[in-house]
Structure 1
Amino acid sequence: MMRATSLFAALFLTAQAAYPSTSIYGSTFDYKKAQPASVYFSGKSPVEIASYCKNESLGTMDLSACAQFGYEGVVKTLNKKVAEIEKATKRYDLEHRANGEPEALPFFEKAQANWQLYRDNNCYSEVYQVGQASLHFVYFWDCMTRMTKNRFDELTKPHAND
């Protein structure tokens, strides 16, 4: 009997290692492949979604969709600001080029791409440290929103800490 129990335990543990958790909270996540929050809130205007998301008794899926909705709004604002900066920098670079000076835009573009990589990796790291949790994606979207707001502030108030 003892041998049968040991054999069963060994098979069970082997099976667990061979078949990882299929929970959506334990799987890897690529936010770039996520459907926009507007799909989740189909038929609702942004104002209606914002109002709904203020509700304090939301379920996990609603909380996650609301967190994603918040991020989408913030990243849209940041992208507008980045486009403005790029446009202005192109104008300045024409003058710099004419004077034989280095151009700034390639460096700004690299900085922005590296910042996005930093933000993404930081938020993935934060959320995967939490492990499997029902609010897994809420934490992720909140991190993305927080870091995107911080970047917007860096670009719009560069001397705020002086």
Structure 2
Amino acid sequence: MIRRTSFLVALTAVPIFASAKTIYSGEFDYHSFKPAEAYFAGRSASEVARMCETGEHASNEDLAQCSHLKFEQVRHELSRNLQAARSEIERNDKSLKAEGEPLALPYFVKSQNDWMQYRDSECYTETYMMGEAAERYIFFWECMTSITKNRVREVQELLKN
């Protein structure tokens, strides 16, 4: 009996470290995520659309990939708009260069790079503030989508002018 008690006392003196890490623990790099299309491989577009719209029979991972898919679509739209803006700026820069004026394209490229850094940092900040949560990636992709949609509107305004 004394031996068993000594063993139990010894166990309570040893700190117990339980690793409670989950897929939602720690830092992550969104660039390492597989495309949402790969995640949904084998499902029809209508099935994916229905699941993403209703959330019916969807796991948290499914919903995160739905949010990821929305981000990829908006990112593609931004890419098309950026290419159009770049072409317009390059055309305009030709006349600026001929007049000896500063060129706009280097500033446009820098502003886009700075904007991407802002967007990523903002979404990581908001996501990490929520801590370890099952909705972490859903929240992250929704943030990325929202800020990217705003950028699409800004670039479209630039193109109008």
TM-score using structure 1 length: 0.84
Aligned twin of 2:82? 82
Q: Deviations over 1:27-65 (max 9, x none)?
A: 311111100000110034555533331123222011001
Matched, 1:150 2:154: no
Give the letter aligned to residue 80 of structure 1. R
- Percent identity of paired positions between Structure 1 and Structure 2: 36
Corresponding pairs, count: 152
Structure 1, unaligned runs of 5 or more: none
Give the letter aligned to residue 151 of structure 1. R
Shift of the 9–107 alpha-carbon distance from structure 1 to 2, 3 Å rule, reads: farther
Give the letter aligned to residue 98 of structure 2. A
Shift of the 9–103 alpha-carbon distance from structure 1 to 2, 3 Å rule, reads: farther
CA distance in structure 1 between the aligned counterparts of 2:70 and 2:110, rounded to whole angstroms: 26
CA contact (8 A) 2:64 2:138 kept: yes
Q: Deviations over 1:79-100 (max 9, x none)?
A: 1100110111011111111110
Kindly name which structure, 1 or 2, has the bigger radius of gyration based on alpha carbons: 2
Aligned twin of 1:8? 12
CA distance in structure 2 between the aligned counterparts of 1:135 and 1:151, rounded to whole angstroms: 25
TM-score using structure 2 length: 0.85
Matched, 1:68 2:65: no
Shift of the 45–56 alpha-carbon distance from structure 1 to 2, 3 Å rule, reads: closer
Shift of the 6–103 alpha-carbon distance from structure 1 to 2, 3 Å rule, reads: farther
CA contact (8 A) 2:55 2:63 kept: no
Structure 2, unaligned runs of 5 or more: none
Counterpart secondary structure, 1:28 = coil
Structure 1, 27-36 or 67-76: larger mean CA deviation: 27-36
Q: CA RMSD in A?
A: 2.1
Shift of the 47–83 alpha-carbon distance from structure 1 to 2, 3 Å rule, reads: farther
Aligned twin of 1:22? 21
Aligned twin of 1:52? 51
Aligned twin of 2:126? 126
CA contact (8 A) 1:37 1:68 kept: yes
> Equivalences for 1:25-40 in 2 at 5 Å?
25-40=24-39
